[in-house]
Structure 1
Amino acid sequence: MKFTLPARRPFNFSSVVHSHGWRQLAPFSYDEATNTLGYILCLSNGHVIELKLNDGKDGVNVETDKLNKAEQKEAADAVTWMFGLDMDFSDFYNASRAEPKLARAKKQALGRVLRSSTLFEDVVKTIFTTNTLWGATKNMTRKLVDEFGVPLLSNGRVVASDSEPRIETKAFPTPDSIAASDPETLKEKIRVGYRAPAIHELAVRVASGKFDLEALKHSSLPTLELRKELMTINGVGPYAAANLLLILGRSDFIPIDSWALKLVSHEWYRGKPITAKEVEKHFEKWGEFKGLAFWFWDWKYHE
């Protein structure tokens, strides 16, 4: 079946898909030739479906299996969340209008950051980005999905791997499936290293109902309080919390890691070593938009 979901304008499908590297992490897949984003979604009734998402001009075109009314609504809600279709960035565009480095922001509809269907998935993936290279993040995510993911019964999308084509056939693992394992298995099979206890602990907290992580998607907490809540998660420090806040639509903090230091160093310090203090200094004036200003800045340095 096919349907189209409208977005609050301005909207740019490609800007969201390329907002960060999530499109490269399972269970996403991306076909550059057709500008189609694939995603394997596990519905609440256990039905696993493949979503094929592409540019609907002022929204997202969705192609998937034949669904009943409740399933279609759940799939539509998931895509709406993943693309932030209802988000309004007019205040950010007004604030950035006079900044040459952000001059393209409104024209390219920058501001939305691609999300996974659940905050649990985004937290796990964010933890997988800490203290490692991007290639390792992709490998950890792939192995986690392969080992604990919920299978798609029909044939999945063929996506390229480093060595040979593979079939994307599983949705991201549920908290229950990871909770039923143990840190040692995560460390040995998924090769997540020191992150194993944190991932397992989070899965147990969520699966047991002690931590309603998904409720934070629409939390009315002030950003500082929401940040504190995120940082109660083992493995989520200042960088990860800032990254997750951006995903949640809060841009008061900058996700400062080694890459951020490199960008700012080349932008203003001729590549000399700097600290987080210098990063904050150059974006402090952006206030509640400093995370967005940093994220979508037209940087001099490109690797």
Structure 2
Amino acid sequence: MSDMEDCCDLQLCLDEIPSTFNLEKAVCNHGFFMMAPNSWIPSTKTLRRPLRLADFSASVVVSISQPPGPSSTVLLLRVHREQVIRMLRLSERDERNVKEFHKVHPEAKDRGFGRVFRSPSLFEDVVKSILLCNCQLSSKRKKRRQEKDGANPVPAEMEGEEVDLGNFPSPKELANLDADYLQSKCKLGYRTNYILKLAMEIEEGKLKIDGYEGVQDAASCRILIKGISGVGSFARASVLMCLGFYDEVPWDSETIKFLKHVHAREGCTKKTIKSDLKEIYDKYAPFQCLAYWFELLEFYERRFGKLSELSHTMYHKVSSSTQMREFNHNHVL
């Protein structure tokens, strides 16, 4: 299929994975779907966002929907096809992972959970994973965001109208930015230099992260990811999850609170969290992270309702990542 054909209206056939895929469940399970430039439309269960053409010369706004019915075997889209396959985990490897996970976690199978939403590129996943780390949301910033979100009408894209959506910046676009400019626009703190360094090293050919997609074992991927500045243990586990390796659970202070609340681990601390996670989730190996994410998703949906039905004005209550929101709101291109 040529690039021109690849970016026209088409149907993506799901004949090989009809039993395990549901668009709503594949998208609305990870905070990334709430972050610009992603736009989920609850009324039509449609995902919209810009995707880049193969030569990076331009972006095209993509709408992805699934016809109703339990046996639907197609996705309707206007898109660069490979990026959709990555976002929704439609590869043969992803399908094998879902089926193997369902063998050790029947409840997840019953709920249709097994695919965690990710970005159309590993670069975007890495940047967002870095932005998830050590994020503190002050009450003042939270109030300001709530006031801003509550005061604005629902944007046109949420109603299905055609609008111009800025895309997530490419490594080339970020590499050409000044650190002070990026910091002033997005307030990323120490993450500013890490993100710019990542973009520059990719552009200079020092980091070839697209090649990480083909690595078949988690141990080798961990070694490669350690070479990315700014990626600590939390971000590493998040990136591994995005690459399809689920044996490591990304944890932070919120994870400790979660284990205390859901698993009655009142004595859980930073010193015990690894052993606590091991005791709870190792029975699901090598899908510990998927088992954890399934519980986390259930926890959030009990508190806020189905994520796929939330208005965008509620997203700030689910996600506490101030830096990620500011980066996405202020620097989509």
Q: Does 1:84 align with 2:89?
A: yes
Contact map agreement 1:13 1:59 (CA 8 A) in 2: no
Which residue number corresponds to residue 187 of structure 1?
A: 183
Q: Does 1:95 align with 2:113?
A: no
Q: Which runs of 5+ in 1 are unaligned?
A: 65-74, 98-102, 140-159
**Structure having the larger proportion of residues in helix:** 2
The alpha carbon displacement at 1:187 in A equals: 1.5
Which residue number corresponds to residue 279 of structure 1?
A: 277
Q: Does 1:34 align with 2:44?
A: yes
Counterpart of 1:55 (choices 66, 82, 87) is 66
User: What is the alpha-carbon root mean square deviation over aligned residues?
Assistant: 2.5
Contact map agreement 2:49 2:165 (CA 8 A) in 1: no
Supply the distance in 2 between the matched residues of 1:62 and 1:37 (Cα, whole angstroms): 10
Pairs aligned (count): 264
Inter-CA distance 297–5: structure 2 relative to 1 (3 Å threshold): same
AA at the equivalent of 1:82: M
Contact map agreement 1:206 1:213 (CA 8 A) in 2: yes
Contact map agreement 2:259 2:268 (CA 8 A) in 1: no
Q: Secondary structure at the match of 1:41?
A: strand
Counterpart of 2:231 (choices 232, 236, 243) is 236
Contact map agreement 1:12 1:108 (CA 8 A) in 2: no
Q: Does 1:5 align with 2:20?
A: no
TM-score by structure 1 length? 0.79
The alpha carbon displacement at 1:134 in A equals: 7.7
Which residue number corresponds to residue 177 of structure 1?
A: 173
Counterpart of 1:23 (choices 18, 28, 33) is 33
Contact map agreement 2:202 2:209 (CA 8 A) in 1: yes
Which deviates further from its counterpart, 285-294 or 116-125?
285-294
Counterpart of 1:207 (choices 203, 206, 209) is 203
Q: Secondary structure at the match of 2:110?
A: coil
Supply the distance in 1 between the matched residues of 2:224 and 2:286 (Cα, whole angstroms): 19
Of structures 1 and 2, the one scoring higher in RCO (CA 8 A, sep 6+) is 2
Contact map agreement 1:178 1:200 (CA 8 A) in 2: yes
Contact map agreement 1:82 1:114 (CA 8 A) in 2: yes
Contact map agreement 2:37 2:166 (CA 8 A) in 1: yes
Q: Which runs of 5+ in 2 are unaligned?
A: 1-7, 143-147, 157-162, 304-333
Instruction: Write the deviation string for residues 65-115 of structure 1: whole angstroms up to 9, x where unpaired.
Output: xxxxxxxxxx11111111111222111111123xxxxx1x22333111112
Supply the distance in 1 between the matched residues of 2:223 and 2:210 (Cα, whole angstroms): 16
**Structure having the larger proportion of residues in strand:** 1
